[in-house]
Amino acid sequence: MPGTIQTLMRIALTRPPSRRLGECELTHLPRTPIDADLAREQHRGYCVALGRLGCDVRELPATSDLPDGVFVEDRAIVLDEIAVITRSAAISRRDETPSVEAALRAYRPIEHITAPATLDGGDVLRLGRALFVGLTQRTNTEAVTQLRERLAPHGYTVCAVPVHGSLHLKSGCSVLGPDLLVVNRDWVDVDAILATVASVRFVAVDPREPRGGNHLLLGDTVLAPTSCPRTVERIRELGVTVETVDVSELEKAEAGVTCSSLVFSATS
């Protein structure tokens, strides 16, 4: 309608944890019992935190047959111009994709990553117009090539980053601000990032908290797990505002705070 003023909103797609979360895919952690009821309670607290930090939280249908379905970040890369639907290396996770794609079609044109490429969204870190893609057991070099091809028309640079010892790139490195990252250097080759964005600064995780590199930047506030208080203190010393949330049961599934939501902007 002529004269209508559109406002920009931050949407967070989420999905409640399955009661079969304890059957999730694991790569680097031993399997330990997961309290599904507690996981669901913690996820509700996580969604409340997302809302408090400015997100319009939109819940995808709960599914009992997708143990990893709560980790919606892995199923798409959402940029301002386009959404790229990923292809999981874990066959058990491929049925998570259709519901995520259906939700995103209301907001973005869609492209797909196709065989033989495999890609998880947890392996993609964005700094401005540069996307860094972790090479892990979930994401391969063919995915880097395809993502570069899909995004070249939109002016993005796509660079591979070697990752060792963690499930995803963002398990060990995440964004705290426009030029600030938190990182576990034992897991992530930061030289690959510096070669593209030389001005970026890093704060190291506390060595007693090797899994403390996963944080979610929402506006001017970082959402962090309660499991890494020493790393959080290092971040706060840099003047960054941090809010914490307990996701301990989800962490048993090799999760962090980024993977349980798919956050992007849209107009209303």
Catalytic center residues: 168, 259
Pairing of strands 216-218, 221-225: antiparallel
Q: What are phi and psi of 22, to 5 degrees?
A: -65, -15
Kindly write down the DSSP assignment for every residue of 196-262, as one continuous string: T-TT-EEEEPPTT-TTTT--EEETTEEEEETT-HHHHHHHHTTT-EEEEE--HHHHTTT--SSTT-E
Find out whether 163 and 194 touch, Cβ atoms under 8 Å: no
Beta-carbon contacts of residue 238 (< 8 Å; ≥ 6 apart): 176, 180, 203
124: which DSSP letter?
Answer: E
Rounded CA-CA distance 138/136 in Å is 5
Half-sphere exposure of 146 (CA within 13 A, CB side): 19
CB 75 within 8 A of CB 261: no
Neighbours of 20 (CB within 10 A): 16
Cα separation, 171 vs 125, in Å, equals 11
Residue 37 corresponds to which tokens in the numbers above?
């009821």
